[in-house]
Structure 1
Amino acid sequence: MFTASHIYIYGNTPSLIKADAAIVLGAEVWNNKPSPVFRERINHAVNLYKARDVSKLIFTGGVGVGKPISEAEAGKLYAVNNGVDELDILTETKSRTTNQNLKYAKEIAQQHNLSKFLVVSDPLHMKRAVEMARNLGLDAFPSPTPTTRYRSFESQLQFLSRETYFYFVYLIFRA
């Protein structure tokens, strides 16, 4: 119960810092467009960019089964349509997991001399994602979406239960 509480609190405490880039963790694509969950992440990243809290956006995520476009590409298109300069967007399109999202984002960041990051995801995903980023050697800080598609108590409890489980699995196996 302590771990679940810590995950919940951590995910609702954004870092109020400026960084070189926001790493936007991928989520599902529906009909070539970001799913509602992914859209919330992208909207938050676009707001960070427009507020000049970051100068680059790194979209992550490969092509899902049966999907014609990668998560990263869908994120980029959505961000460009919402006022982000295409030159300020980097993408990685190979990843299938959160750890891969971060690993490949790190490779791209190094190629562009970026060193400080805000990790953008859902609040309840934040603790595990930032810990993974830091274990990969990234100077990473949480930037949870202020809005979430997981609004009801039941959906938040399901997501929290899932994240608590995966957090323990990560701690045990570092996978």
Structure 2
Amino acid sequence: MRRKIAQSVDEHGRATNSPEERILYGKKPSNLAFTSTSLLTGHKHTMLAKLRTAVRKKVVGLNRDYLRLIYGMNIHPTARISFGARLDKTNPRGVHIGARTAVTNGAVVLSHDGVRKMHRRTVIGDDCFIGINSVILPGVVIGDQVIVAAGAVVSENVPSNCAVAGNPAKVIKRGIELSEGRMANREWTKES
């Protein structure tokens, strides 16, 4: 037995259904723009969000453990490595990532150079944030509490408590404090 859909009337006298009913029963909205009305509101939405977050944390942990155990990379158990991050698998024992560091999507961490036939240790300190599509070249040591901006190419060592950006990466801010890859204070001193 099919349920009757409650209808309302628009300004032209035509029968319309609510956006939720259109989505549920596969009817296209006739004269309304797409709305982002969620069918799952309140408690159900919160439960699904919490479940999704918990599952994602477990899967990210499995990815980190895979890199540590199979490839032998020195990655701290509290570090967060995105699935899209590319860590050097040619010289995996040369990759060292500290506690509570976040390596984001598209970031590349290299520990070898095939052209120059060299293998170097690449070290990223504690509480760092490595931005999207940034490149960390072999042999670089990044200090603790460092932000590497999106798209930066880090070719030289980076001191602690600073932010770097550009190609090649240069220090743009000093005196920053991070906690678990997030900013702890917003009062930076500008580099002159």
| Structure of higher RCO (CA pairs closer than 8 Å, 6+ residues apart) | 1
Q: Which has the higher helix share?
A: 1
Q: Give the TM-score of the pair, scaled to structure 2.
A: 0.20
Q: Give the TM-score of the pair, scaled to structure 1.
A: 0.21
Structure with max Cα Rg: 2
